[in-house]
Amino acid sequence: MMPDSVIETHGLRKRFGDKLAVADLSLSVKRGEVFGFLGPNGAGKTTSLKMLLGLITPTAGRGTVLGKPLGDLASRAKLGFLPEHFRFQDWLTGRELLRFHGRLFGLSGAPLERRIEELLGRVDLLDAAHRFVGTYSKGMTQRVGLAQALLNHPAIVFLDEPTSGLDPIGRLLVRDVIHELREQGTAVFLNSHLLGEVEATCDRVVFVKQGRVLHEMRLGEAPSGLEVVLRTGPIDAETRTGLLRFGESLEDAAGVTRLRMASDAQLPELARWIVSRGVDLFAMSAARPSLEATFLAVMGEDQRPG
Amino acid sequence: MNFVRQLLTITHLTLHEAMRRRILLATLVCGAGFLLVFGIGLHFIVKDMMRQNGTLLMQRIMLNTFTLAGLYAVNFLTVMSAVLLPIDTLSGDIASGVIQTVASKPIARSGIVLGKWLAYWLVTACYLLLMAGGVILLARLIGGFELPGVFLGLPLMLLEATVLVSLSIAGGTRFSTVTNGIVGFGLFGLAFIGNLVEQIGTVAGNNAARYVGTVTSLIMPSDSMWQLASSQMQPAIMRQMSFTPFSPFSVPSPAMVWWAMGYTLMLVVLAIRGLSKRGL
């Protein structure tokens, strides 16, 4: 029986000379989960991912992938990897590229050829399979890269910024493939800073900064509350205090009150109560906090440019 | 067994790359051009020799010298190929990131290094055999001359090429492509000038100059292999009288062959270590 966690790391650290790229990475990824690894540029995301794949040796710390130490050859046979920038042997045709990578996975003969055709169909490249990868558009290169990452029916697929710079169709394809992988019980380690994509695909995310996990949250679970914004006329002190029974106060500026409420069930009651207090209510809106808002809250406002 | 299969997959891919990028074609076309020029030159020299009606010994010395001149050019072209062909095979893949999807597969880094080394060694060896074989064959067909010591000389030339292929591969694991080229040709140049100093030192009876030559041969044994090869591929009389530029005054010790083999092994181990330790 396979262990529940497919990736475990404890205090992974990577230093390049004077620069500390990853300070102290401890995380766990469960079998079959789509795991989002979020952080701003320079947060050590790609370095962390490369350590998990055995491309970079950690300076300190330990970790396992599929129960084996990082970089173990046998466990790599069950990993798929789509690197950032999608750089491949551009003098091979799409089909030759998949054949070469399939052989590196130890596949050969008819099973490999069948798998190649199956994947070429899945990423919609059958018509272009005879063309050199060097003639592909960025989207096509990304699709053939995705296919090479899936040749071996992997137990974990590592995707490093898989949709950056792609058009909506390319993004949709990646999203669909991730959903299919989840259904097949394949874990996906998604390294991205495109929060919309992450929100649409991940089960759980961690926020990293300077190679440290700052925050972890599960997406798709009960929401962590609604953010309600009230635009009103002047509010007296008693009404202001009374508002707190509906939720936690986030902001109380002139004419604008922001509250965090547990659910939307109390929204009609809140509106009635304010009006009954003789306060002019100009607008009331309620929204769940976006991943982007959480990201900024966790990372701090210093992540904003300018 | 799996290791060997994956190593051969890398070899196959590398050879495929050399063919697809027309590297092999360019090498072969230039090589054919060289053999054509050599054949035409030999034809006119033989014609002139027949007209002059010199002694058989002088005719043999002239033919031997011209054939060695051809082989000297072949040796230089092989050296160029040995350094240039593999120059970016690792550094280029590392710089572009292409190596990431390869090295994350279940293949040891040593398999990547040895696979590429084998591919370029095969290309260089075939090039040397075709070119040197062509020169020797033309000498036989046009001049009716059979070069002595071929079976000792050609393996020594191949050993020189092997040293330089290994140097280029090992450099590719640590340096950028341009730096690797500078190091490869720089060391070859060092060995060349070191040998020249040693020859002059021998003629002048200057032991210090000879010592400089010996030390540079130890730092880079490539040129010593050519000196040994050329001394094998001429009759004793030519060797002893040092009639031609290809008859060294100071012939390297046969122990240099063992040194060159050990040097190659050391370079291959360094290449494997270099790529294994390197973050990709």
CA distance A31 to A34: 9
Looking at every residue in chain B, the average pLDDT score rounds to 91
CA distance B214 to B223: 11
Find the CB nearest B100 among A55, A92, A104: A55
CA distance A200 to A175: 8
Task: Provide the pairing of β-strand A187-192 with A156-160.
Answer: parallel
Q: Does B22 touch chain A (CB under 8 A)?
A: no
Give me the pLDDT at residue A222, please: 43
Order of all β-strands in the sheet with A79-82 = A68-69, A60-65, A5-16, A19-30, A212-218, A204-209, A34-38, A187-192, A156-160, A79-82
Return the residue in B100, B278, B280 with the most chain A beta carbons within 10 A, the one to mutate for interface testing: B100
Q: Is A153 left (phi over 0), alpha (psi -120 to 50) or beta?
A: left
| Contact (Cβ atoms closer than 8 angstroms) between residue A20 and residue A59 | no
Inspect the interface and report whether the beta carbons of B280 and A89 lie closer than 8 Å: no
pLDDT band at A164 (very low <50, low <70, confident <90, very high): confident
Find the CB nearest B105 among A76, A83, A84: A76
Give A237-242 contacts, CB < 8 A, sequence gap 24+: A239/A274, A239/A277, A239/A279, A242/A273, A242/A277
Which of these, B245, B185, B269, B265, lies nearest to B65 by C-alpha position? B245
Residue A3 pLDDT more than 70?
no
| Contact (Cβ atoms closer than 8 angstroms) between residue B6 and residue B107 | yes
Looking at every residue in chain A, the average pLDDT score rounds to 88
pLDDT band at A220 (very low <50, low <70, confident <90, very high): low
What are the φ and ψ backbone dihedral angles of A14, each rounded to 5 degrees? -140, 125
Q: Is A226 left (phi over 0), alpha (psi -120 to 50) or beta?
A: beta
Q: Please state the ipTM of this predicted complex.
A: 0.83
C-alpha distances in Å from residue A224, one per residue of A14, A291, A292, B179: 34, 11, 14, 56
pLDDT band at B257 (very low <50, low <70, confident <90, very high): very high
For A192, the enclosing helix (H) or strand (E) is strand A187-192
Inspect the interface and report whether the beta carbons of B106 and A76 lie closer than 8 Å: yes
| Contact (Cβ atoms closer than 8 angstroms) between residue B213 and residue B194 | yes
| Contact (Cβ atoms closer than 8 angstroms) between residue A195 and residue A292 | yes
| Contact (Cβ atoms closer than 8 angstroms) between residue A257 and residue A249 | yes
Half-sphere exposure of B35 (CA within 13 A, CB side): 21
How far does the CA of residue B29 sit from the closest CA of chain A (Å)? 21
Residue found by looking up tokens 């396979």 in the block: A2
> Residue B110 burial (CB < 10 Å; 0-12/13-18/19+)?
middle
Q: What letters, b where the CB count within 10 A reaches 16 and e where it falls short, cover A126-145?
A: eebbeebbeebeebbbbbbb
Q: Which residue of A lies nearest to B17 if distances are taken between CA atoms?
A: A91
B26-68 pLDDT per residue, tens? 988 999 999 999 999 999 999 888 888 778 888 888 899 999 9
A4-55 pLDDT per residue, tens? 899 999 999 999 989 999 999 999 999 999 999 998 888 889 999 999 999 9
Residues of chain A with C-beta less than 8 angstroms from the C-beta of B279: 16, 50, 55-57
Q: Does B100 touch chain A (CB under 8 A)?
A: yes
pLDDT band at A306 (very low <50, low <70, confident <90, very high): very low
CA distance A23 to A17: 13
Find the CB nearest B104 among A54, A57, A91: A54
Strands (DSSP E) found in A66-139: 68-69, 79-82
